């Protein structure tokens, strides 16, 4: 640990931590106290510096103080930099068995403390989406970058945007349905890497399993629908043609990627599949109906949803809604103060301005000011999906300025993702100069006047 003297800009190393005996923590506005991340009963690799407070060996013997030379004389004397404090288990010589200590028994010089490695202390199930352990190094031993930092690697997985992904500190996680937990690294030359975490012996029982309908986002759907909403046959999950992909059945044992059935292995808004048509990579299976018990009277809306008072708090894209009373990441033009009659409670989806597309909310994504919610209409229709044909979208609002976006002068319908085939053509300085349309993976069509040759 060390003190940082704010006034004099000096650091003072301390021989003890907050876990040392007879130490008291007191607040002081002139100093900041910094300590290494606590690993009370865990070991990271063969680290020399740890802050655990275990002081007995795996056989139950008490440890000798590091500054003592009896009953065993030794060369590992404590200093502020080596972490050899009191009589806690440590690993000053990088022993492959992990932390150890000299014992107070004259007949037994030293002994291992039997502390588990982090990767052995907590196991993961399936692909580790629910893993919440404290492994913070990759399988090559590289330290992980904190999720709330954008250095040395910029990334979209900020804890505020994905509060349900467990993006704490710099721990290994799996927020994007990869094969197993991973992290961005502190090495500028290596963006991300998998972590070594053991599999639990017992596979968890699947929940929300359905066959004739789907609940939530349909991760538990196990039916046999194998065509998309527009009738295109699905590609087999164990095939790599016409589309190559990483959702190989043996790598995702809990996702039930059988045959060519519609599934939701990555937490999308509904079951989907790769299609058998080379020109259409993926498509949703929106024709699979929602289970009746999902559509309670409170969670569906009538008309435009101006009287909707349900508790849906995520958008159709899965982004968490910003509380109506909050001022960040977006400064709202509509709030409980401006619309007291609209019941703008917590971060629940509402329609205070009678938008024809239904309930909406400001979002926790700084790049998406607002988005519509996935609440179903009592009439059976849903908010237009980002992948559905735009013919389903009502166009009477196009070109009308919206008070939700007035600060940035944007136009209704101009949100990123609404038109995934729309392309921004930019110069080498990354400045936009023309628009275009994606007609094939490597082909964009634009207008001739955009180019000098």
The answer to whether residues 429 and 407 belong to one domain is no
Of the candidates 86, 116, 146, which is a domain's last residue? 116
The answer to whether residues 406 and 446 belong to one domain is no
Q: What is the pLDDT along the chain (453 residues), one digit of tens a residue?
A: 787 777 788 888 877 777 777 887 777 777 777 776 643 333 333 333 445 778 899 888 999 999 999 999 999 988 867 778 889 999 888 888 889 999 999 999 999 998 766 555 578 888 888 888 888 999 999 999 999 888 899 998 888 777 778 898 899 999 988 889 999 999 999 999 999 988 887 776 766 788 889 888 888 899 999 998 888 999 999 999 999 998 999 989 889 999 999 999 988 878 999 999 999 899 889 888 888 765 554 567 778 888 888 888 888 777 888 999 888 888 898 988 888 888 898 889 999 998 888 899 999 888 888 888 866 665 554 444 333 333 333 333 344 445 555 444 444 555 555 577 888 888 877 888 888 998 888 889 998 878 766
Contact 208, 222 (CB under 8 A): no
pLDDT value at residue 248: 92
CA 212, 217, 221, 223 dihedral sign is positive
CATH code of the domain containing 405: 2.40.20.10
Of the candidates 72, 91, 116, which is a domain's last residue? 116
In a domain? residue 204: no
Question: Residue by residue, what is the 3-state secondary structure of 284-317?
Answer: ECCCCCECHHHCCHHHCECCCCCCCCCCCCEECC
CATH code of the domain containing 431: 2.40.10.10
CB within 8 Å of 90: residues ≥ 6 apart: 48, 50, 66, 83, 84, 99, 100, 101
Q: Look up the domain containing 439 and give its range.
A: 421-453
The answer to whether residues 440 and 402 belong to one domain is no
In a domain? residue 344: yes
Whether the ω angle into residue 242 lies within 30 degrees of 0, i.e. cis, is yes
The answer to whether residues 403 and 452 belong to one domain is no
The answer to whether residues 70 and 9 belong to one domain is yes
Element (H, E) at 119: helix 118-121
The answer to whether residues 425 and 377 belong to one domain is no
In a domain? residue 32: yes
The answer to whether residues 369 and 432 belong to one domain is no
Q: Which of 266, 254, 135 is nearest to 202 (CA)?
A: 254
In a domain? residue 408: yes
Number of structural domains (the chain) is 3
Q: How far apart are CA 153 and CA 170, in angstroms?
A: 13
In a domain? residue 328: yes
Whose tokens are 């190393």? That residue is 13
The answer to whether residues 368 and 440 belong to one domain is no
Q: Which residues of 248-276 are buried (b: 16+ CB within 10 A; e: fewer)?
A: eeeebeebbbeebbbbbbebbbbbbbbbb
Of the candidates 116, 133, 157, which is a domain's last residue? 116
The answer to whether residues 32 and 97 belong to one domain is yes
In a domain? residue 337: yes
Distances (CA, A) of 202 to 126, 169, 182, 198, 222: 10, 28, 22, 12, 21
In a domain? residue 449: yes
pLDDT value at residue 104: 95
């Amino acid at each position: 640990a060390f003190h940082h003297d704010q006034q004099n800009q000096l650091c003072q190393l301390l021989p003890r931590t907050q876990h040392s005996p007879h130490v008291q923590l007191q607040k002081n506005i002139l100093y900041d106290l910094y300590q290494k991340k606590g690993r009370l009963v865990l070991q990271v690799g063969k680290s020399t510096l740890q802050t655990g407070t275990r002081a007995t060996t795996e056989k139950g013997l008490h440890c000798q103080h590091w500054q003592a030379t009896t009953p065993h004389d030794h060369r590992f004397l404590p200093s502020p930099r080596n972490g050899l404090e009191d009589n806690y288990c440590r690993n000053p010589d990088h022993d492959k068995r992990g932390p150890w200590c000299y014992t107070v028994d004259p007949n037994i010089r030293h002994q291992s403390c039997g502390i588990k490695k982090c990767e052995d202390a907590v196991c993961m199930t399936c692909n580790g989406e629910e893993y919440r352990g404290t492994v913070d190094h990759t399988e090559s031993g590289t330290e992980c970058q904190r999720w709330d930092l954008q250095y040395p690697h910029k990334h979209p997985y900020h804890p505020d945007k994905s509060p349900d992904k467990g993006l704490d500190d710099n721990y290994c996680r799996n927020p994007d349905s990869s094969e197993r937990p991973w992290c961005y690294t502190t090495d500028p030359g290596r963006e991300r890497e998998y972590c070594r975490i053991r599999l639990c012996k017992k596979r968890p029982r699947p929940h929300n399993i359905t066959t004739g309908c789907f609940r939530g986002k349909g991760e538990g759907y196990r039916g046999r629908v194998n065509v998309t909403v527009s009738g295109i046959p699905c590609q087999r999950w164990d095939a790599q043609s016409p589309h190559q992909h990483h959702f190989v059945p043996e790598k995702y044992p809990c996702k039930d990627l059988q045959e060519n059935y519609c599934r939701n292995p990555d937490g999308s808004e509904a079951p989907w599949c790769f299609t058998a048509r080379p020109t259409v990579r993926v498509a949703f299976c929106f024709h699979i109906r929602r289970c009746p018990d999902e559509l309670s009277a409170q969670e569906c809306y009538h008309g435009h949803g101006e009287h909707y008072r349900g508790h849906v708090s995520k958008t159709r894209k899965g982004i968490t809604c910003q509380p109506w009373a909050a001022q960040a990441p977006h400064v709202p033009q509509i709030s409980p103060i401006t619309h007291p009659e609209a019941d703008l409670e917590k971060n629940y989806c509402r329609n205070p301005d009678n938008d024809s597309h239904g309930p909406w909310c400001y979002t926790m994504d700084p790049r998406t000011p607002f988005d519509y919610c996935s609440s179903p209409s009592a009439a059976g229709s849903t908010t237009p999906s980002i992948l559905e044909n735009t013919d389903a979208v009502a166009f009477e609002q196009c070109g009308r300025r919206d008070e939700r976006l007035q600060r940035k002068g944007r136009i209704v319908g101009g949100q990123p993702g609404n038109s995934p085939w729309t392309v921004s053509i930019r110069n080498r300085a990354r400045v936009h100069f023309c628009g275009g349309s994606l007609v094939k993976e490597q082909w964009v069509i634009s207008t001739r006047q955009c180019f000098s040759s």
